Amino acid sequence: MSNPGARQAVEQATRTSGGVMTRRTVFGTTMTLLAALALAGCGGAGDSGNDSASGAAAEAPAQAPAEGNGEAAPDESGGDSAARAEGGVLAEVTSAVADRSIIYTVDLTISTDDVVSAANRAAAAAVTAGGYVVDEQVNGDHDAVLTLKIPSAGHQETVADLEALGEVTSRSRGTEDVTQEVVDVASRIESQRASIARIRALLAEATQLADVVSIESELAGREADLDALLSRQEQLAGLTSMATVTLHIYRSDEAPPQQDDDDGGFLAGLAGGWEAFVTVGGGFLTGLGAVLPFAALAALIGVPAYLVARRRRGQAAPVPEPVPGPPAA
């Protein structure tokens, strides 16, 4: 038989060791769970860090090209802007010139071996371009002067064709902007037409003869002014639609023809006065030469007739008788 006290001590020792083991087991389990949770957290943090790093790495190249494009973009956009700006300026200039009324004049002098052939080709070039020859003066095979009318829109190409006929020795271009005058004439025409319409309305309502005569006189004056404005408008349209090209052609082995100088000053005035004197003197001598034959014929007939008539008057005149003097004392 065992001692009850010993058995109780063993049981108590067993319960005590079991409790200790139980507490150790719980503690170990808890520590294991905490360790697993810590490992899981670290793994998640690592995965999220890797994901974040991967995302950052993925975004970095995307941002790098974006930044690169951002650096290149100003150049490209700047180039495009410059191109657009350049094209815009050219378009604006072309549009501005197209919208304006400009008179073009060109004076061209060329030398060639065949003056006549060059003159014919120049006239043909003007006709081909849609123009015509205003004046043509050909001095044999020495020189020629042509005045051509060429459409303003393409006169540069035609002038280039004319320059190809020979060697260009002189060239001058001129422009005159008459846009303001064209607009002013058009506005005055509209105003004049409106005024004429009002006067005609008044004429239709007039009943008194004096009023009718006065209104008709005013209407005639307004219509004359309108005709003058329409004529000026047509003249401006012709000048702006056709460029004037004056072409001087001379042989290559001859000196170019001298053109009149428009210089002013004393010498120019003296030369002009001398030319006027020569012109007036030439006219006087021409008239004198025309009258001289008739004057000679009149003298040939009139002088003998005058002498005969004078002689007859002398013979027919009575001789006066002498008057007796007083008696002598």
Distance CA 282, CA 156 (A): 45
One domain for residues 121 and 74: no
Residue with tokens 């995965």: 47
One domain for residues 93 and 138: no
Q: What are the tokens at 159?
A: 């002038």
Instruction: Flag whether 324 is in a domain.
Output: no
Tens digits of per-residue pLDDT, 69-91?
444 444 444 444 444 444 444 34
One domain for residues 63 and 149: no
Instruction: Flag whether 123 is in a domain.
Output: yes
Instruction: Flag whether 27 is in a domain.
Output: yes
Q: Give the mean model confidence (pLDDT) for residues 288-306.
A: 85
One domain for residues 120 and 235: yes
Distance CA 329, CA 327 (A): 6
Cα 59 to its chain centre, rounded Å, is: 56
Query: What is the average pLDDT score of the chain?
Result: 74
One domain for residues 66 and 160: no
Distance CA 136, CA 147 (A): 6
Q: Which residue, 192, 187, 186, 194, is CA-closest to 221?
A: 192
Instruction: Flag whether 62 is in a domain.
Output: yes
Confidence of residue 279 (pLDDT cuts 50, 70, 90): confident
One domain for residues 70 and 127: no
Above 60 in pLDDT, residue 317? no
For strand 102-112 and strand 242-251, is the pairing parallel, antiparallel, or unpaired? parallel
Contact by Cβ (8 Å): 157, 106:
no
One domain for residues 71 and 24: yes
One domain for residues 160 and 191: yes
Residue with tokens 């007039």: 206
Question: Among 202-206, 242-246, 257-261, 312-316, where is mean pLDDT lowest?
Answer: 257-261
Distance CA 213, CA 136 (A): 51
One domain for residues 154 and 215: yes
Give pLDDT, residue 262. Answer: 52
Q: From 84, 99, 114, give the residue that closes a domain.
A: 99
Distance CA 92, CA 100 (A): 12
Instruction: Flag whether 74 is in a domain.
Output: yes
Q: What are the tokens at 233?
A: 């408008």
One domain for residues 32 and 77: yes
Residue 184 CB neighbours (<10 A): 13
DSSP string computed for 124-167: HHHHHTT-EEEEEEEETTTEEEEEEEEEGGGHHHHHHHHHTTSE
Instruction: Flag whether 66 is in a domain.
Output: yes
Instruction: Flag whether 291 is in a domain.
Output: no
Tens digits of per-residue pLDDT, 152-170?
888 899 999 999 998 999 9
Tell me the percentage of the chain whose pLDDT exceeds 90: 32
- Look up the domain containing 120 and give its range: 102-251
Give pLDDT, residue 287. Answer: 86
Q: Give the mean model confidence (pLDDT) for residues 135-155.
A: 89
Q: From 99, 126, 144, give the residue that closes a domain.
A: 99
Above 80 in pLDDT, residue 98? no
One domain for residues 67 and 163: no
- How far lies 85's CA from each of 91, 94, 242, in Å? 10, 14, 32
Instruction: Flag whether 268 is in a domain.
Output: no
Tens digits of per-residue pLDDT, 29-57?
555 555 555 554 444 444 444 444 444 44
Distance CA 200, CA 202 (A): 5
One domain for residues 202 and 154: yes
- Which residues pair with residue 170 across a beta bridge? 109
Q: From 202, 230, 251, give the residue that closes a domain.
A: 251
Q: Which distant-in-sequence residues (6+ apart) come within 8 Å of 173 by Cβ?
A: 104, 105, 106, 107
Expressed in percent and rounded to 5, the helix, strand and coil fractions of the chain are 70, 15, 15
* CB contact burial 121-140 (16+ within 10 A = b; e otherwise): bbbebbeebebebeeeeeee
pTM: 0.47
Number of domains in the chain: 2
Q: What are the tokens at 288?
A: 């004198």
